[in-house]
Amino acid sequence: MGFLRQEDRVLAMCRRGFRWFTVIGAMALLTLGGGCAQIRPGFLRAKEPQPAVREVHALPIPPDVDYAQALDLGSGRRLFYSQRDLLYAQGDQFYPIVVQGFPRLAGVAPDGQAVAFLEPFEFEMAADLYVFDLPTRSLRRLTEHRDSGSTLSVKTAQWQDARTLYYLEGYRYGTVSHGGDLWKVDVRSGERRRLVQAMGIGGRFEEIVEFEFVPGAKLIRYVIVRHEEDGSETRRSHYCTLDGKPAE
């Protein structure tokens, strides 16, 4: 009987030990799971949005530059660009500017201190407008189409002065849309404002397909195309102030 009681005591101790082992194992799994969540945030949590401004660092070794075109920015600064890449060179230092590839150069600011470009400028892709500041070598994204899954895309952009860009924003999909609405953006504050709306008015398919600044006057000339049901197009020129007020 004493032997049986001793055996019962041993079995009871084993059962208690198993329960403690189960609790400790569960705690270890929870701790490990939390560690995985910290190591791979994209696996369990939504990825944090990309910062609007980021510093661009030099490449560790000079690249084998063989790009289609090169733009001389003066003072030993050059801008190399091709269909897939955009590279800023200052002396013997090279800085890759592209984020996704397929950039389209929109021009250098009038004071020569910044470069604007669209990316990715490819068929049915959501292109955003970027500005690369040359003195600070910082890249700023001025629109947010790529991350938001927008159906819109930036089609073209022009500098008006060293602080202001004007651009067309239109439908991303389809083979007909080449333009959109006219917008302006302050490259320092990031404030955007739509100046002229052409799309979606009166059930007609209209869009602004081009614009230009009128020399000697603070006016913008823009062209609206109306796409008819029979496949024909009608074009009309209009004028507005730099703030978008009609100036016919």
Reported as a single tens digit per residue, the pLDDT across 125-158 is 788 999 999 999 999 999 987 666 778 899 999 9
Predicted confidence (pLDDT) per residue in 212-223, tens digit: 999 999 999 999
Same domain, 124 and 206: yes
pLDDT computed for residue 35 by the predictor = 39
Same domain, 28 and 70: no
Same domain, 37 and 136: no
Same domain, 38 and 106: no
Same domain, 105 and 133: yes
Same domain, 13 and 54: no
Q: Are 88 and 134 in contact (CB under 8 A)?
A: yes
pTM for the complete prediction?
0.72
Same domain, 203 and 124: yes
Predicted confidence (pLDDT) per residue in 223-235, tens digit: 999 888 887 889 9
Distances (CA, A) of 156 to 127, 168, 209, 214: 10, 6, 9, 17
pLDDT computed for residue 144 by the predictor = 85
Predicted confidence (pLDDT) per residue in 169-211, tens digit: 998 876 556 789 999 999 999 999 999 999 876 556 899 999 9
Same domain, 91 and 175: yes
Does a structural domain hold residue 248?
no
Residue position matching structure tokens 């600064």: 77
Does a structural domain hold residue 32?
yes
Say how many domains are in the chain. Answer: 2
Same domain, 30 and 100: no
Q: What domain range includes position 14?
A: 2-43
Residue closest to 205 by CA, chosen among 177, 164, 235: 177
pLDDT computed for residue 48 by the predictor = 38
Does a structural domain hold residue 247?
no
